[in-house]
Amino acid sequence: MKKIIIFDTTLRDGEQSPGASLDIRQKVEVAHQLERLNVDVIEAGFPIASKADFEAVKLIAGDIKKPVICALARAKKEDIDAAYKSIKAAKKKRIHVFLATSKIHMKYKLRKAKEEILKQAVEAVKYARRKVEDVEFSPEDASRTEVDFLVQVVEAVIDAGATTVNIPDTVGYATPENFGRLIAYLMKEVDNIDKAVISAHCHDDLGMATANSLSAVKNGARQVECTINGIGERAGSAPLEEVVMAIKTRSDFYEVSTSVKIKELYKTSRLVSHLMGIKVQPNKAIIGKNAFSHESGIHQDGLIKERSTYEIMRPEDVGFSKSRLVLGRHSGRHAFKVRLKELGFNLGKKDAETAFGNFMRLANKKKEIYDEDLETIVEGQISEIPRVWKFRSMHITSETGSFPVAEVELESKGESLKKKASGDGPVDACYKAIDKIARIKGRLIDYSLQSVSRGKDALGEVTVKVKFKEREIIGKGSSTDILEASAKAYINAINKLIYISKRK
């Protein structure tokens, strides 16, 4: 299968997203992750644009070994000089020169005639070729350029030494059929087309960046320019994860492949989203939170029976942990029971039916039902948690300037056990002493205290959420002494854990 070169421009076009700017250290961090993702080319920045851009490209060029490091330049000597200076240290380097060729851009932005543009493009490519062997040229706004002029420009820059010619749909105006036809036309009409790689660079203004890029591939393009999470100017660019996974999943149709390590896709997406502060929409293809989540009962039932009924890709392959069955009011009994089993509850037919009824009542009030909700439902059905450990007494000493010490006494099977521990506070000391007695290690995640009656001698009810290894358990305890209520809540959580583990 022919290989498609994946050119990542997250650090250049992607960084042009409003609010997406990164500092130098963050850019280097993203570049390292892109290297792990195994992209072929990293467009690291636009060095003439600012000192920070220049420095970032320079650092990346020195640090990153495997991919080609590319720097962007207008068709001007000073831009090309800055680009070259920034990537000089790179093992593999490329200069990417661009100049607009559409009527609108030439007339209003550049105020130049076709002949001047052609000459400038050729001279810039020749100048860049004197510095590096790998030169890319982009006729900006190519999709709105007169086709015959585009043919003329592409042919001339290849003659001048361009090794890659990128065809940008700068304003996201193209449609899949017409962009594919444009690529096919260039492949046919440009005499020296076999001397360069043809590339696609599509923006998503009409939501067609991925489709346009793939159509270009189908018609002969051998490089796709894209960004992680599809970030980029305005509506963004073709998302790398979509292009790569479409090529992989539908290799039967596209008959090409990429070298991207798809297992790194999710991690890369999270890193870029986190550093740029741009959230990924939940229903985003491939890397959105819901991309492998199923809520409808019919889908969940199908998926449990055979995954391929409702999944065309495996979540693990792109770095997700696994498919998620979201329990909500559209879910059915099958998914509900499977989830309970995964949580360690093996309920009999009658108990399972009651639990499902309680679950449905809750699901009608609450959008998503989490594992803790299910545990609360099932625990609520357990009439009495056996009190393996019982509270007997406690003694706490707390002095300003020193750590509090708690001595707790518990009873189990008629036997009494006492232990001492110190902690950051009296509750912490008390929980540590209980851990010692019960030979368990709990981590307090949540603690709340509520008064359940009035007056000075009000009864206080403490609710705790404790994490024991992977399991989170809610415990409750009450007393007029809040430290005693705290100890009882923690002991209740331990007793629940013992009970649930035994049922398992």
Closer of 199 and 486 to ligand KIV (Cβ): 199
Instruction: Candidates 94, 201, 284, 496: give the one binding ligand KIV (CB under 6 A).
Output: 201
Closer of 240 and 374 to ligand KIV (Cβ): 240
Enumerate residues 6+ apart whose C-beta is below 8 A from 462: 447, 448, 449, 450, 476, 477, 478, 482, 485, 486, 488, 489
Minimum separation from the CB atom of position 98 to ligand KIV (A): 4
Q: Which of residues 82-111 bind ligand KIV (CB under 6 A)?
A: 98
Are 214 and 254 a contacting pair, CB within 8 Å?
yes
Q: How far is CA 254 from CA 1, 104, 357, 375, 449, in A?
A: 9, 34, 49, 47, 61
C-alpha 261: how far from chain center: 15
Are 239 and 208 a contacting pair, CB within 8 Å?
no
Minimum separation from the CB atom of position 33 to Zn ion (A): 21
Minimum separation from the CB atom of position 166 to Zn ion (A): 9
Closer of 169 and 242 to ligand KIV (Cβ): 169
- The partner in contact with residue 140, picked from Zn ion, ligand KIV, none with C-beta cut-offs of 5 to 8 angstroms by kind, is ligand KIV
Residue (of 432, 427, 488, 433) closest to 459 by Cα position: 488
Minimum separation from the CB atom of position 328 to ligand KIV (A): 41
Q: How far is the first Cα of the chain from the last one, in angstroms, to the nearest whole number?
A: 50
Closer of 166 and 331 to Zn ion (Cβ): 166
At residue 243, what are phi and psi to the nearest 5 degrees?
-60, -50
Closer of 140 and 295 to ligand KIV (Cβ): 140
For residue 431, state whether it binds ligand KIV (rule: CB under 6 A).
Answer: no
Distance CA 210, CA 325 (A): 28
- The partner in contact with residue 138, picked from ligand KIV, Zn ion, none with C-beta cut-offs of 5 to 8 angstroms by kind, is ligand KIV
Please tell me the count of residues contacting Zn ion according to CB under 5 A. 1
Minimum separation from the CB atom of position 94 to ligand KIV (A): 13
Minimum separation from the CB atom of position 332 to ligand KIV (A): 47
Closer of 138 and 258 to ligand KIV (Cβ): 138
Distance CA 220, CA 4 (A): 10
Please tell me the count of residues contacting ligand KIV according to CB under 6 A. 9
With 0-12 / 13-18 / 19 or more C-beta atoms within 10 angstroms meaning exposed / middle / buried, residue 294 is buried
Closer of 226 and 247 to ligand KIV (Cβ): 226
Distance CA 287, CA 272 (A): 12
C-alpha 201: how far from chain center: 22
- The partner in contact with residue 98, picked from ligand KIV, Zn ion, none with C-beta cut-offs of 5 to 8 angstroms by kind, is ligand KIV
Q: Name all contacts of 330-339 with Cβ < 8 Å and 24+ positions apart.
A: 330/295, 330/296, 330/297, 331/295, 331/296, 331/297, 331/300, 331/363, 332/297, 332/298, 332/300, 332/301, 334/297, 334/300, 334/301, 334/304, 335/297, 335/300, 335/301, 335/304, 338/304, 339/371, 339/374
Q: Which residue is at the shortest CB distance from Zn ion?
A: 13
Distance CA 343, CA 374 (A): 9
Closer of 138 and 223 to ligand KIV (Cβ): 138
x-or-dash string of contact with Zn ion, 194-233, rule CB under 5 A: ----------------------------------------
Closer of 170 and 215 to ligand KIV (Cβ): 170
Residue (of 379, 388, 404) closest to 483 by Cα position: 404
Residue (of 288, 231, 241) closest to 18 by Cα position: 231
x-or-dash string of contact with ligand KIV, 154-183, rule CB under 6 A: ------------x-x-x-------------
Minimum separation from the CB atom of position 138 to Zn ion (A): 8
Closer of 40 and 204 to Zn ion (Cβ): 204
> What is the torsion angle, in degrees rounded to the nearest 10, for the CA atoms of residue 63, residue 69, residue 73 and residue 75?
140
Q: Which of residues 9-48 bind ligand KIV (CB under 6 A)?
A: 13
- The partner in contact with residue 472, picked from Zn ion, ligand KIV, none with C-beta cut-offs of 5 to 8 angstroms by kind, is none
Q: Which of residues 2-61 bind Zn ion (CB under 5 A)?
A: 13
Q: Which of residues 213-252 bind ligand KIV (CB under 6 A)?
A: none
Distance CA 332, CA 334 (A): 6
Q: How far is CA 221 from CA 79, 108, 434, in A?
A: 27, 30, 67
Closer of 102 and 219 to ligand KIV (Cβ): 102
Distance CA 110, CA 243 (A): 33
Instruction: Candidates 8, 40, 79, 140: give the one binding ligand KIV (CB under 6 A).
Output: 140
Instruction: Candidates 17, 33, 86, 138: give the one binding ligand KIV (CB under 6 A).
Output: 138
Q: Which residues bind ligand KIV (CB under 6 A)?
A: 13, 98, 138, 140, 166, 168, 170, 201, 203
Q: Which residues bind Zn ion (CB under 5 A)?
A: 13
